[in-house]
Amino acid sequence: MTAVAASWLPLSTGERSVAIEVLVHGPLSRTDLARRLNLSAGSLTRLTKPLIESGLLVEITDPGPGAEARQGRPSQPLDVVADSRSFVGLKITGDMVYGVVTNLRSDIVARLDRPLTSHDPGEVVDVLAGMTADLAAEHRGLAGIGIGVGGLVRNRAVVEESAFLSWRDVPLAALLEEATGLPVVVENDVAALVEAETWFGAGRGLDRFVVLTIGAGIGYGLVLGGRRVPCAEEDRGFGRHWIINPNGPLTPEGERGSAVSLLTIPSIRYQVRAAAGRDFSYEEILALAAAGDPMPARVVDEAARALGTLVAQIANFAMPQKMLLAGEGVGLMDVAGRTVEETLRAHRHPLAAPVDLETKVSDFHDWARGAAVLAIQVLVLGGTGE
């Protein structure tokens, strides 16, 4: 396997702006594109010419039946050649690696998962390299790899700390690049998901946008001015010190009433196990609560009130145009969504605008897709994503 993304690099700042605008919002006519970027016709022509010659953009000769008819020379909208390159996105959990292949517009065209039986960095890299090789056999022209991992990542390359994997200072990008010959981008998994939703999902075109994830932990991402706000505390326990109810339940680590102790799947399962004397899956707990079983219903109701409070507090401070609730724990909304909404309203000013709360039923392939979007941003467009 060899890297092919380099044929598009380096892009100038102007070229990158054009490429992103077409990638996220295209196809666009030259008139629309010039207006969006405040460019003259001559400047736009100068910037788009190398992008067309390199194969990143293409002129659409038949824009379709919905295209607006114009007198004189017909307009030829510009679009990204979405299938010209493919990207591997990998999401690493404690016991699995979830993989996808996407095109330039982050459409998933293939999935591949493998169990993770060891956290030894060398063995993990072997699994990642093997998955990449199998995907490359079916999808030619792979341009790069994006990896999402729960942990603190430095310089999009080194996993500085990951509690799930018990890693410290693991140069994951360099190790996988050596094994595959492809360029690699590594990022915190929540940050990657936020980037994907900002470019291609719920936050597309928004100035202020929030992603809140609930699952094994709690993740938070803030977008201002259409760009994700990076922070040094990413995945160092967001929600662990956010006290929702100081009289709330304890986690096994002794934390009381934090967002983590009330909302995460391990904490919910711990509370039910401590009361019932036996273990239940998260799905079983939600089903029992929906059926009216008193003890699981109490735990789920408390979690729903915590979620409503947390969403309200975030909305009060960040004032987002939309908030996306995602992660493997969002099934809580199916069982106790009304409680969440009632609590949310109770913690907002009566005249405050309603919170546009979108719930996304997602799996780990969505997180892997987020990692692929990071690869698109950095490897193809030459941006930092920050």
Question: How confident is the model over 209-244, as pLDDT tens digits?
Answer: 999 999 988 989 999 998 999 876 655 556 677 888
Query: Is residue 49 domain-shared with residue 92, that is, in the same domain?
Result: no
pLDDT at 4: 44
Please state whether beta strands 142-149 and 184-188 pair in parallel, antiparallel, or not at all (unpaired): parallel
Inter-residue contact 246 to 266 (CB < 8 Å): no
**How many beta carbons lie within 10 A of that of residue 274, not counting itself?**
12
Query: Is residue 132 domain-shared with residue 278, that is, in the same domain?
Result: no
Share of the chain above pLDDT 90, in %: 64
CATH of the domain at 314: 3.30.420.40
93-102 pLDDT, tens digit per residue, is 999 999 999 9
Angle, helix 13-25 to helix 41-53, in steps of 10 degrees? 80
* Token pair belonging to 33: 């594109």
Please indicate, yes or no, if residue 290 is contained in any of the structural domains. Answer: yes
The total of structural domains in the chain comes to: 3
pLDDT at 23: 87
Which is more confidently placed, 26 or 46? 46
Q: Tokens 């993304």 belong to which residue?
A: 5
Please say if the pLDDT value at position 169 is more than 90.
yes
Inter-residue contact 106 to 376 (CB < 8 Å): yes
pLDDT at 69: 46
Share of the chain above pLDDT 70, in %: 89
Query: Is residue 244 domain-shared with residue 345, that is, in the same domain?
Result: yes
**Interatomic CA distance for residues 200 and 204, integer angstroms:** 6
Please indicate, yes or no, if residue 385 is contained in any of the structural domains. Answer: no
| Single-letter residue type at 267 | S
pLDDT at 6: 44
Query: Is residue 149 domain-shared with residue 278, that is, in the same domain?
Result: no
Inter-residue contact 207 to 187 (CB < 8 Å): no
DSSP string, 120-179: -HHHHHHHHHHHHHHHHHHS--EEEEEEEESSEEETTTEEEEETTTTEEEE-HHHHHHHH
Angle, helix 294-318 to helix 332-346, in steps of 10 degrees? 50
Average of per-residue pLDDT across 12-28: 87
Query: Is residue 210 domain-shared with residue 331, that is, in the same domain?
Result: yes
Please say if the pLDDT value at position 7 is more than 80.
no
Q: Which domain holds residue 126?
A: 85-195+366-380
Banded model confidence at residue 123, pLDDT cuts 50, 70, 90: very high
Please indicate, yes or no, if residue 227 is contained in any of the structural domains. Answer: yes
Query: Is residue 216 domain-shared with residue 341, that is, in the same domain?
Result: yes
Query: Is residue 166 domain-shared with residue 109, that is, in the same domain?
Result: yes
Please indicate, yes or no, if residue 244 is contained in any of the structural domains. Answer: yes
Contacts 24+ apart (CB under 8 A), 152-156: 152/188, 152/234, 152/235, 152/236, 153/186, 153/187, 153/188, 153/191, 153/234, 156/185, 156/186, 156/187, 156/374, 156/378
Choose one of 81, 115, 145: the last residue of a domain.
81
195-207 pLDDT, tens digit per residue, is 999 989 999 989 9
Query: Is residue 144 domain-shared with residue 169, that is, in the same domain?
Result: yes
Query: Is residue 376 domain-shared with residue 318, that is, in the same domain?
Result: no
Query: Is residue 318 domain-shared with residue 376, that is, in the same domain?
Result: no
**Interatomic CA distance for residues 185 and 176, integer angstroms:** 10
Inter-residue contact 102 to 370 (CB < 8 Å): no
Closest CA to 189 of 129, 237, 147, 223: 147
**Residue 87's beta-bridge partner residues?**
102, 144
* Cis peptide preceding 77, ω within 30 of 0: no
Burial status of residue 148 (CB atoms within 10 A of its CB: 0-12, 13-18, 19 or more): buried
Inter-residue contact 367 to 84 (CB < 8 Å): no
Closest CA to 228 of 259, 263, 188: 188
The beta-strand segments (E) located in the chain are: 57-59, 78-80, 86-92, 96-102, 108-115, 142-149, 152-154, 158-162, 167-170, 184-188, 208-214, 218-224, 227-228, 322-326, 357-359
Burial status of residue 383 (CB atoms within 10 A of its CB: 0-12, 13-18, 19 or more): middle
Please indicate, yes or no, if residue 20 is contained in any of the structural domains. Answer: yes
pLDDT at 1: 46
Query: Is residue 292 domain-shared with residue 307, that is, in the same domain?
Result: yes
Query: Rounded mean pLDDT of the chain?
Result: 88
Closest CA to 109 of 372, 346, 295, 319: 372
Secondary element (H or E) of residue 235: none
What is the phi-psi region of residue 253: left when phi exceeds 0, alpha when psi lies from -120 to 50, beta otherwise? alpha
